[in-house]
């Protein structure tokens, strides 16, 4: 039996594609297992539907030829070096997309940087989605249907969202409508991928909540994000307490003459709205008039409204 290797924190759309003819079999996440105790499938998991025209598997990197139509020929050295380092440490976070040219031979459709980085990192195989149809609408519908059925952790969810948007031409509006979430909610979920890999691991493992992770994103740099993640785990901080700590963790201003900044009040209200929006996982706007102000909280569905009310400590259900 071949040794299992780490394939990354999130499987991208690989999490939405069954790996066998049995619809209930989900792709195995060998980095963070989606199974519960004793290998049992979580009660919240549903059977994935077959995605006709797509297969998921690991391919030999030497069996994949670049796409001649790839418009991007030059890759910036520093970001590419960071990607190579990430691949060496954690594997490929999102599968590439290929089409089969002949038995055992494939052409790349999406994922040029991921493929090059895998070769540079010395990987022999790479996770790939093998596309067997040109019917974009059929693929979009099937993948969106499986978002409801797959039992995804926040990082898997973010990874799948990003790949649906970037590799399969699905718009945020289509995604929001299909899964019953607001666009800001989707945007906030995808933002989790900006966390340092070490913090992403903690989110994927379930020791750090998505709410804590969104608050940590406001920290000034990666080292502070890692500091706050460890502080949450060690001290059991609530999301609200963490938000206050991160909000105070700002670079010390250089001493000098105080200046009046034009629009400072408006900017302050914008920051407050963004912080509240991150906490509620939706879009929040604050407007201040001459005599009164207005606080607007967006929600996508009645279920989303009930979720926001619960976040605010209200158990009232509409």
What gap in Å lies between CA 218 and CA 212, rounded to an integer? 11
**Are 51 and 139 in contact, with CB atoms under 8 Å apart?**
yes
Is residue 174 within 8 A of residue 144, CB to CB? The reply is yes
H helix intervals, the chain: 77-90, 112-120, 136-149, 154-167, 172-179, 183-190, 197-205, 210-216, 222-235, 239-248, 264-280, 302-311
Q: Please choose, from the candidates 187, 191, 184, 211, the residue with its C-alpha nearest in 3D space to the C-alpha of residue 300.
A: 184
Cα 176 to chain centroid distance, Å, stands at: 15
Q: How far apart are CA 309 and CA 229, in angstroms?
A: 26
End-to-end CA distance of the chain: 53
Q: How many helices (DSSP H) and strands (DSSP E) are in the chain?
A: 12, 7
User: Measured between alpha carbons, how far is residue 157 from residues 11, 102, 122, 133, 248 in Å?
Assistant: 9, 33, 28, 25, 30
Beta bridge partners of 285: 296
Residue 117 bridge partners (DSSP) = none
Q: 37 catalytic, yes or no? A: no
The catalytically annotated residue of 112, 145, 244, 274 is 112
* Residues carrying an active site annotation: 112
């Amino acid at each position: 039996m071949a040794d299992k290797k780490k394939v990354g924190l999130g499987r991208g759309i690989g999490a939405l594609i069954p790996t066998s003819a049995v619809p209930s079999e989900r792709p195995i996440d060998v980095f963070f297992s989606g199974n519960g105790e004793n290998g049992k499938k979580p009660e919240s998991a549903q059977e994935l539907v077959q995605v006709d025209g797509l297969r998921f598997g690991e391919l030999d990197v030497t069996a994949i030829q670049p796409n001649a139509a790839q418009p991007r020929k030059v890759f910036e050295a520093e970001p590419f070096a960071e990607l190579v380092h990430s691949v060496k440490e954690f594997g490929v976070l999102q599968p590439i997309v290929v089409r089969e040219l002949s038995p055992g031979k494939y052409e790349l459709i999406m994922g040029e940087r991921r493929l090059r980085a895998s070769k540079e990192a010395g990987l022999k195989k790479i996770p790939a989605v093998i596309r067997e149809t040109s019917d974009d609408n059929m693929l979009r519908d099937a993948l969106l249907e499986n978002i409801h059925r797959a039992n995804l952790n926040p990082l898997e969810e973010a990874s799948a969202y990003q790949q649906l948007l970037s590799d399969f031409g699905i718009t945020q509006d289509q995604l929001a409508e299909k899964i019953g979430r607001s666009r800001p909610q989707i945007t906030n979920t995808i933002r989790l991928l900006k966390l340092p890999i070490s913090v992403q691991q903690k989110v994927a493992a379930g020791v750090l909540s998505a709410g804590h992770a969104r608050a940590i994103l406001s920290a000034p740099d990666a080292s502070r994000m890692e500091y706050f993640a460890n502080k949450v785990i060690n001290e059991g901080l609530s999301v609200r307490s963490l938000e206050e700590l991160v909000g105070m963790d700002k670079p010390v201003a250089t001493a000098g003459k105080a200046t009046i900044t034009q629009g400072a009040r408006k900017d302050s209200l914008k920051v407050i709205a963004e912080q509240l929006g991150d906490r509620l996982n939706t879009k929040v706007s604050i407007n201040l008039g001459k005599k009164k102000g207005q606080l607007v909280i967006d929600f996508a569905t009645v279920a989303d409204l009930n979720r926001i009310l619960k976040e605010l400590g209200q158990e009232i259900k509409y």
